[in-house]
Amino acid sequence: MSDTLRSKVMSGMFWSVVQSWGVKGLNLLLYLVLARLLSPTEFGIAAAVALVLLLQQLVAEFGFGEALIQRETLSKQDVTLPFMVGVGSSIVLSLIVALSAHQIERLINVPDLAPYLIVASLFAPLATATAFQEALYKRDLDFKPLAIRQFVALIVSGVIGLSCAFSGMGAWSLIVQSVIYTVVSLIWLWRKPRWVPTRQCDWASFRLIGRFGASVFSTRLIDFGATRSIDFVIVSLHGAAALGLYTIGAKLYQTAMELLFRAFMDVSLSALSKLAYDRARLSATYRRVVSTSSLFGTPVFFAMAALSPEITHLLFGGKWVGSELIMAPLMLIGGMQCIQFANGPYLTAIGRPHLTLWLTLIKLVAVLPAIIFIPSGNVAALVDIYVLALLVVTPFSFALVAKELGIRLRDIVYWIAPGLISAGIAYGSVWIARGMVGEYSMHAAAQLFILGLLFSAVYLGLVMMIASASVHETVKLMRRPV
């Protein structure tokens, strides 16, 4: 890796971390306050709106952003047609959603959803236009403006959203906050655009970009079905309040994935695509990523799963009792996903996104029948079924990456096993100790502190006892340049 590229990657990683930790932390703080002000039903209504708009945005963007990032060379003419198609599709879809809002309301069983959906859908094309500028900034590994933009947009929209919540506007508080965030993001990035619309276009380039984007879109659409179908099942079977409970229970899981994983993902496609033809270097970086994720990422997720009763009580309050039963299994699967999700960027970087598509299809086939046909009875049981189904894709994911990078599968197991085993035992020790600690009727904060110390002591003791050599080797690998 050249000094210039290494400098850009490190700068990009730094600002991506700032963006992930700062913005996501601020967003979590906003959610904590709103959770105290709004009811589960109000949260559920806003979550249902966000779910529909997420699908709309996914279809409109069509994977063009990732295709633009991945291209080895990119001219202004290359962007014209993807942008026009993406924004045009978003406008058409917004009109469809607005006109069919009442039908969607009845379909997913959320009374009074239509007005919220109509207002929010009209701003979706702005988000699509912003996504293209964001992709071009990422392509240049210029994450500083993106980080600043997110801070500004979140602060402005958060202040307005909280004002609405304190004024008693209920679910509208979240809708208004989302709309303001979209508008501020659009203004911020388009005031200094990396590209401006032009009449010149390149049809040959569009076909190549569209072909790559179609593969990315297919993967994302199937992944949406695999990961977000549970939201539709919850709201259809149990109502908006249950979806609100799931949204809060899953919030910390989603935030943790962003904090520990998204910074790498944002930079990885741009950086790895430049090493796509050097499999030896790709294999070396892959070892660093999975080893580091297992030793330092997995225990964080397992600790939060073990401490979920205390965490949810302290952060969200008694109104959200039951969210810990949702948070715990999601955090456990997150401990595996923070390792496994590195596989996608590597497969995409070497020009094999269709393999990611097949993996996502396996996930969908495993998840969808499970959550629809296996009786659950309540939201917590449904989440347990969902998490177990997600585990099905894990061995396939690692096997494909091992084959493509020329790595033995047993070597990958050797790299990730110490962290997983040690974190699993530490998790079990906390649940055993909780019964004994609970007899003293401690405050939740004191109990969280004691059980957290127990988890840390057990994990660190085990990982140093069974894998001290692996830990030292991983630290050396992290320090060594690619």
Residues near 309 by Cβ (< 8 Å), separated by ≥ 6? Answer: 324, 434
Question: What would the pLDDT profile of 305-349 be if each residue is shown by its tens digit?
Answer: 999 999 998 888 778 888 999 999 999 999 998 888 778 777 776
pLDDT at 285 over 80: no
Q: At what angle do helices 409-438 and 323-340 cross, to 10 degrees?
A: 160
Per-residue pLDDT, 461: 93
DSSP 222-282: HHHHHHHHHHHHHHHHH-HHHHHHHHHHHHHHHHHHIIIIIHHHHHHHHHHHTTTT-HHHH
Higher pLDDT, 18 or 131: 131
Asked if 360 contacts 223 with a C-beta cutoff of 8 angstroms, the reply is yes
Q: What's the mean pLDDT when you consider all of the chain?
A: 83
Reported pTM: 0.80
Give the model's confidence band at 15: pLDDT under 50 very low, under 70 low, under 90 confident, else very high: low
* Helices 308-316 and 24-37, axial angle in degrees (round to 10): 70
Question: How does pLDDT run across 397-424, given as a tens digit for each residue?
Answer: 899 888 888 888 888 888 888 899 999 9
Rounded alpha-carbon distances, angstroms, from residue 215 to 65, 352, 372, 378: 12, 10, 27, 36
pLDDT at 404: 82
The torsion angles phi and psi of 243, rounded to 5 degrees, stand at: -65, -35
How is residue 251 written in tokens? 């919030």
CA distance 139 to 133: 10
Q: Of 97, 70, 83, 175, whose CA–CA distance to 130 is shortest?
A: 83
Which of 11-20, 98-107, 375-384, 455-464 is least confident? Answer: 11-20
Q: pLDDT at position 435, please?
A: 81
Distance of alpha carbon 115 from alpha carbon 121, whole angstroms: 10
Q: What tokens does 439 get?
A: 């007899």
DSSP annotation of 72 reads S
**pLDDT at residue 276 greater than cutoff 70:** no
